[in-house]
Amino acid sequence: MNALDRLVGHLTKLPGIGKKTAGRLAYYILDADPTYAQQLAEELQQLHERIHRCSVCGSFTETDPCAICSDPSRDTQLLCVVERAQDVRVIEEGREFRGRYHVLGGLIAPLEGIGPEKLAIGQLLNRIRRNGISEVILALNPTVEGDTTALYLHKILKDTGVTVSRLASGLPVGGDLEYADRLTLSRSFRGRIPM
Amino acid sequence: MNALDRLVGHLTKLPGIGKKTAGRLAYYILDADPTYAQQLAEELQQLHERIHRCSVCGSFTETDPCAICSDPSRDTQLLCVVERAQDVRVIEEGREFRGRYHVLGGLIAPLEGIGPEKLAIGQLLNRIRRNGISEVILALNPTVEGDTTALYLHKILKDTGVTVSRLASGLPVGGDLEYADRLTLSRSFRGRIPM
């Protein structure tokens, strides 16, 4: 196997990158200025040395605690619970939320052997007890696993006295009723908002 | 800018990789076993040292001449002319063609300032004159640039006495007349094959 095939093989492991796309990327890198490959290689090499999990919220960071956890201008009473570290990035880009985050590290999925004990739920309870958090927003995907996890957390968090809410689910903005699936439509009916 | 953002920035330069996809890839690499990032980095670092252009056909290779140019079992009389090195890979995967290749390094595109002098046409003529080539197959894309280049090469190659042909253009196999564009349909009429 030559160097090009090995590179294609490595790229194929990335999510959403099939053999054809991997080939196109590899040839692009070959055709491009060699400094590009060098820079990309350096970043990859240093990635895991530089980036770690934040010991407070569990998201990826170069400093510990992360920039969000150590930002005094953010609302410390408001906690947004997400499945994965990349969800923090998505929500931050929306610039809607001004509290802090908590990364669960997954969702409850009994069929895949993922129970609540594998998620950062103990740490979540500790943060709520210690840090005077008044509201928890569950920003979990509207899937079976997301629903299961949200229900479980709601039950667990009842005794702590915090307000627990979940992101609204319904028709996407700019979407069309005609293309909405049955479940989304049903949710948007149940979650209808008085005008 | 932190290490993650820099990696995302580098990945965004790849063709077909937008900011969202780059983010997904970067988080996948972060989540994966660190050896993956290390291996990918090593391959990228060594890529340009290991892979060069074949001095005969112009495709990418670790040896010179490349495996195809030095394979005695391949038909030396048959030459397939392609635009880019990656086209060789695509055609090789089809396992239809058993001759050798010649990479032009582009297509004639006057609007982008690419004239015939920027392509490996001199080398093509040399190979035809010296190596007893009897047939040249132009495997150029059915685009305006591909058509222009094919016409130009046909004119140039007339005096050499070789047979010049071009890949058939028409309806894709498994395709539907209903979805064919006007130009493709027109080509498939002009190129119709007696049954």
**Amino acid, res. A34:** P
A118 and A154 both lie in a single domain:
yes
Q: Which residues contact B162 (CB under 8 A, 6 or more apart)?
A: B128, B133, B134, B135, B136
B85 and B123 both lie in a single domain:
yes
Is B187 inside a domain boundary? Answer: no
- The pLDDT tens digits of the residues spanning B100-138 come to 999 999 999 999 999 999 999 999 999 999 988 999 999
B29 and B95 both lie in a single domain:
no
A39 and A90 both lie in a single domain:
no
Backbone phi, psi, residue B155, to 5°: -65, -50
CB < 8 Å to B4, chain A:
47, 51, 60
**pLDDT for the residue A139:** 92
Q: What is the pTM of this model?
A: 0.76
Which residue range(s) make up the domain with A10?
3-50
**For residue A117, what are its two tokens?**
């004990």
Contact A3 B51 (CB under 8 A): yes
Q: Which value does ipTM take for this structure?
A: 0.78
Is B27 inside a domain boundary? Answer: yes
A46 and A128 both lie in a single domain:
no
Q: Which residue of B has its CA nearest to A5?
A: B43
**For residue B16, what are its two tokens?**
């077909």
pLDDT higher than threshold 90 for residue A8: yes
CATH of the domain at A95: 3.40.1360.10
Q: pLDDT class for B41, splitting at 50, 70, 90?
A: very high
B161 and B82 both lie in a single domain:
yes
Nearest to B87 by CA among B102, B70, B77, B76: B102
**B48 in A contact zone (CB under 8 Å):** yes
Is A120 inside a domain boundary? Answer: yes
A21 and A79 both lie in a single domain:
no
For chain B, percent of residues with pLDDT exceeding 70: 100
Q: Which residue of A has its CA nearest to B17?
A: A25
**pLDDT for the residue A178:** 78
B154-176 average pLDDT score: 87
A95 and A130 both lie in a single domain:
yes
B133 and B85 both lie in a single domain:
yes
CATH of the domain at A26: 1.10.8.420
**B4 in A contact zone (CB under 8 Å):** yes
CB < 8 Å to A46, chain B:
3
**For residue A156, what are its two tokens?**
């667990």
B159-180 average pLDDT score: 84
Q: How many domains would you assign to chain B?
A: 2
Cα A123 to Cα A103: distance, rounded to the nearest angstrom: 10
Rounded to 5°, angle at Cα B175 from B173 and B176? 140
- The pLDDT tens digits of the residues spanning A90-141 come to 888 888 899 999 999 999 999 999 999 999 999 999 999 998 899 999 999 8
B115 and B150 both lie in a single domain:
yes
Across the interface, which of B3, B38, B60 has its CB nearest the CB of A30? B60
Cα A124 to Cα A139: distance, rounded to the nearest angstrom: 14
B96 and B159 both lie in a single domain:
yes
A79 and A158 both lie in a single domain:
yes
What is the DSSP code string of B76-124? TTEEEEESSHHHHHHHHHHT---SEEEE-SS--BGGGTB-GGGSTHHHH
Q: pLDDT class for B83, splitting at 50, 70, 90?
A: very high
- The pLDDT tens digits of the residues spanning A160-176 come to 989 999 888 887 887 77
Find tokens 């988080």 and name the residue: B27
How far does chain A reach from its first CA to its final CA, in angstroms? 64
Higher-scoring residue by pLDDT: A53, B191? A53
**pLDDT for the residue A181:** 82
Contact A15 B28 (CB under 8 A): yes
